[in-house]
Amino acid sequence: MGKVGKLVAAALVLVFIASFAAGCSSPKKDPIKIGIVAPLSGGAAMVGDTQVKGVALAIKQINAAGGIHGREVIYIAEDDEQIPAKSVSAVNKLVYNDKVDAVIGTVNSSATLANMEVTRKAGVPQITPISSNPKITKLGNEWIFRLQASDEHQARAIVDYAVNELKIKKPAVIYQSDDYGTGGKDVIVDRLKELNVNPVAVEAFAPDAQDMTGQLLKIKNAGADGLFMWTMYAQAALIARQARQIGLDVQLMGGGGLTNPKLVELAGDAAYGLLNTQTFFPDKEGASPEAAAFIDAYEKEYGMLPDSNAAMSYDSMMILAKAMEAAGPSLDKKKVRDAIAATRDYRGVTGVITIDEYGDANRDILIIRVKVGGGYEVVWPKR
């Protein structure tokens, strides 16, 4: 080992130790700690990133307004790399090491399904902003809540709109083969069957796929007149562009994962006219006062427009804060949990929210359309 190498190695070891010690030292005052678990690296990092941003913005506003019971709120964000086992590690760390008062996260349903066992055992309230697997709230775990309108509601809404309003007869479905995409696909296919419409093609693609033309050609060949896609915005942008390249010119439709200002930036004019379900209306023009204020504040804070995940995360934190206020200064976790469960008609940025008996947030679903040149408009419910 060279001299330089030894020095570097020694320095690294010192840095490890120093940083660890720094992490352990406790602050003077006793703030309320919110743990965030999210994929901050890997393929879903972009979603994890806005999740943290949304919560952080809410916390900033809460602190500016005097905190909760006069106490400051801080957050600790941990990366789970979207791997269930690592998610469990991260939540364990938040719950037992950092002793957080509540957990917000994570993105991927499979990771949430794994890590919610930890908060259940420890008795710590947890809100997942966007994990969409219906099972999460159906396993009898009283400590987990979800803000995202479930896939069931979203997918049904878009299918009904497509069949009833757009008169689509030969729809096709393309979905990413993970829990989010598969979950949405299942509901779409079932709902289409209920409406006596047969999908002409149902195609999957891997979450890291970049070329979907094989699937799209098959869809084109099947004579589809509408395409449901259940995926995130980056892949949706690829699909929109590749569909155009192979001459597949049909109505594109999807779920909440598509709502992101980046979509139009990436897909360009291929994204114009795209329809998707949402509870958060991302365009200041025509948004509710709450949403408009949020979009403003978010843009000011981060220099970018929020996506729906940021909005869900923001609302998650706000509902959590309300519940903590209601639960009294002791912040008894059970009381906080019950207070979250008792949320009724909360006017959040993602709509008017009521938590149902399972812990799901119920509210009206909008169908929004990307306008030519960018921006959104609501097409359903009709105004």
Partner 1 sequence: MFVQQVIQGLAIGSVYGLMALGYALMWQAWAVLDFARGEAAMIGAFSILVFHSFFKIPFVAAFPLAIATSAILGYVIQWLAYRPLIGGIPINRLIATLGMGILLRNLARVIYGADPYPFPTVFGDKPVSIGNVLVVPQNVWITAIGFALVVLLRLFLTRTYTGKAMRAAAQDRETAALMGIRVKQSMALTFVLATCLGAIAGLLVAPVYFVRADMGLSIGLRGFASAVLGGLDSVTGAMIGGLLLGVTENLAAGYISSGYQAAIAFSIMILILIFRPQGIMGRRL
Partner 2 sequence: MKNLYRKYRTVALLLLAYAVPVLTRDPYVLHLANMACIFAILTLSLNILTGFTGQFSVGHAAFYGIGAYTSSLLAVKAGAPVWLGFLAAPVVAAVFGILLGLPTLRLRGFYLGVVTLGFGEIMYQVFVNWISLTNGPKGLTGVPAPRIGSIVLDTYGSYYFLSITLLVLTIVVAYRLLYSRVGRALLAIRENETAAEAMGINSTYYKVMAFCVSAALAGMAGALYAHEIMFVSPESFVNAESVSILSMMVVGGIGSIPGSVVGAITLTLVPEYLRSFGDLRLVVYGLAIVLMVIYSPQGIGGWITRVDQYLSGTAIRKPVRGGVERGAA
CB neighbour burial string for 235-259, b if at least 16 within 10 angstroms, e if fewer: bbbbbbbbbbeeebebbbbbbbbbb
Minimum CB separation of residue 247 from partner 1 in Å reads 5
Q: Per CB under 8 A, which region of 2-10, 220-228, 229-237, 326-334 contacts partner 2?
A: 2-10
> Which of partner 1, partner 2, none binds 110 (CB below 5-8 Å, type-dependent)?
partner 2
Paired tokens of 100: 């957080």
Q: Is 114 in the site for partner 2 (CB under 8 A)?
A: yes
Tokens 């009904």 belong to residue: 160
Minimum CB separation of residue 117 from partner 2 in Å reads 6
Q: Per CB under 8 A, which region of 181-189, 253-261, 298-306, 331-339 contacts partner 2?
A: 181-189
Q: Is 96 in the site for partner 2 (CB under 8 A)?
A: yes
Residues contacting 270, CB < 8 A, separation 6+: 237, 240, 241, 243, 244
185-190 long-range contacts (CB < 8 A, ≥24 apart) are 185/230, 187/151, 187/152, 187/155, 187/156, 187/159, 188/155, 188/158, 188/159, 188/228, 188/230
Q: For residues 142 and 267, give the distance between their C-alpha atoms in angstroms, rounded to a whole number.
A: 41
DSSP string, 244-275: HHTT---EEEE-GGG--HHHHHHHGGGGTT-E
Minimum CB separation of residue 64 from partner 2 in Å reads 24
Q: Is 19 in the site for partner 2 (CB under 8 A)?
A: yes
Q: Is 197 in the site for partner 1 (CB under 8 A)?
A: no
Q: Is 45 in the site for partner 1 (CB under 8 A)?
A: yes
Q: Is 19 in the site for partner 1 (CB under 8 A)?
A: no
**Distance set, CA 347 to CA 255, 279, 352 (Å):** 22, 12, 5
> Which of partner 2, partner 1, none binds 369 (CB below 5-8 Å, type-dependent)?
none
Q: For residues 162 and 308, give the distance between their C-alpha atoms in angstroms, rounded to a whole number.
A: 22
Q: Is 381 in the site for partner 2 (CB under 8 A)?
A: no
Q: Is 283 in the site for partner 2 (CB under 8 A)?
A: no
Q: Per CB under 8 A, which region of 21-29, 44-52, 190-198, 285-293 contacts partner 1?
A: 44-52
Q: Is 178 in the site for partner 1 (CB under 8 A)?
A: no
Minimum CB separation of residue 133 from partner 2 in Å reads 6
Q: Is 332 in the site for partner 1 (CB under 8 A)?
A: no
Helices (H), strands (E): how many in the chain? 12, 15
Paired tokens of 298: 């978010």
> Which of partner 1, partner 2, none binds 133 (CB below 5-8 Å, type-dependent)?
partner 2
Query: Contact residues for partner 1 (CB under 8 A)?
Result: 40-43, 45-46, 48-49, 177, 203-206, 208-215, 217-218, 220-221, 234, 237-238, 241, 244-247, 262, 265-266, 268
